[in-house]
Structure 1
Amino acid sequence: MSQLYCRIHVSGVQLDIGSTGLTINNEHWVGGRITNDDPQAHFKNERLSIIHDQLLAIYNDQLRSRKPITAGSIKRAYLGQAGCLSLPMVFDLYMRDSATDPERKLTTSTLTVYDNVRKKLIDFLANEKALDLAASEFDVSWAKRYRRWMASLPQPDGKVGYAESYIIKQTQTIKNVLIWAKLHKHIDSNPLDGLKLKGAEFGDSVYITEEQFQTLRKHHFVSRVLQETADVLAILYRSGFHYGDLLDMVAQHKTAVRQGLDGKLWMMKKCPYPVR
């Protein structure tokens, strides 16, 4: 005996609606109907016809309203979840809240990182034909598909896939978005609750020698763009700044270089958080 489930296909995308509540003998299932060998065949086939007619009615209703018809939109309407927020919409709300939250005081560079995650996620959902995927449906299986997709993307240097550390950070950001969505009651439960991501592992750092640094510092490029790039690299090498720190420093350049307690000039970045 087997449990009979309902599955729909739209434009190459399939989704499970869920159990029909019917149990059948596999030998009695022929051509999408239950044979008369089952004593309750008439009742069970009637139940299947009702489900089919309901799904067809939803499809026709969306067709008449000229709404985008997807497997996800039909499933949500059938399950009474037509008002669920999609994952891209929830991410937009998260971005808006992050930019205006007076307690977090996120820098422009941090918001840019979040936005890059959002764009990658939208590219993935578009590739999966699931741009209307409800935030509450982005479960562990979707997270794994996302990570496999990230690991398959061709890179400018000819390699395939992003580094595992980068993929972990991207996935963690999406998980944080869903945690935020639950706290703000945009979803009833976090589908990634309990998902544990291993810490990012980084390879050995790459260093340049003092001789290489001096060669870079003294060389003058004909191209203005290359010269500016070399200047930025020189600053990063000497200061140890991350790129985001450098952007913050540029914004505070009038007060950044100050005399330290030892009498030497130091580059000082204003701390965005209160120090206790």
Structure 2
Amino acid sequence: MKFKWMMLCVGILTATNVVAEDAKESDAQGIKVEYVDPRDPFEGFNRAMWDLNYNVLDRHIYRPIAHGYKDYVPLPIKSGLNNLVLNLEEPSSLVNNTLQGKWGWAANAGGRFTINSTIGLLGIFDVADMMGMSRKQDDFNEVLGYYGVPNGPFFMAPFFGPYVTRELASDWVDGLYFPLSELTMWQSVVKWGLKSLHARAAAIDQERLLDNALDPYTFVKDAYIQHVDYKVYDGNVPSNQDDDELLDEYMQELE
């Protein structure tokens, strides 16, 4: 976690210079760009970071590594490493589900950690899933969302990708619980790297969809915010009343 925030701070400093240069170039050309998405008040900065992350880092570093990982690392090794990493997060999930009053899922997280840490050899084998205890991991960001704390502005972090402000403000809390609290900085770096690599490899099938999008940045932003809401509401995202009213008015006009 310490590594993550150190890198984020360095990236923000670098990104600020990039945005400043882009702004000077736009002024020189007499071009003024306005952004109107209330969820994304920093869109100028975020788009600059998207270009850095997607067109530079992902294209030349993350994507080749992810494809090599998917194509050449045997599936049992990939599954074992991912299970091991995710098993470390079960205790924090137990706490977060308890804070939301989701007693069944809290017990599920505790049971999964106990079974997989013992019978499953520190979590390498997901024995609990074989016993019908499916994985559902909640982080502290979801706890805040459950109690009505809004997402806050969307933020594209350099090197790390999309976030909402609520995540940035609360992400450190999950690292306070055992066993994450016992990891050294370098162990946390390895854990983050393995988890990110597995997630990036899993997204390979969506690359063509993203590459063909009219505006990949907007596509990712909308998808990510929907993903955050989906997790907070456990898939039962309430409909937007304002959107429903606008749709009703539109249909009435058509009639």
TM-score between the two structures when normalised by the length of structure 1: 0.25
Q: Kindly name which structure, 1 or 2, has the bigger radius of gyration based on alpha carbons.
A: 1
Richer in helix (by share): 2
TM-score between the two structures when normalised by the length of structure 2: 0.26
Richer in strand (by share): 1
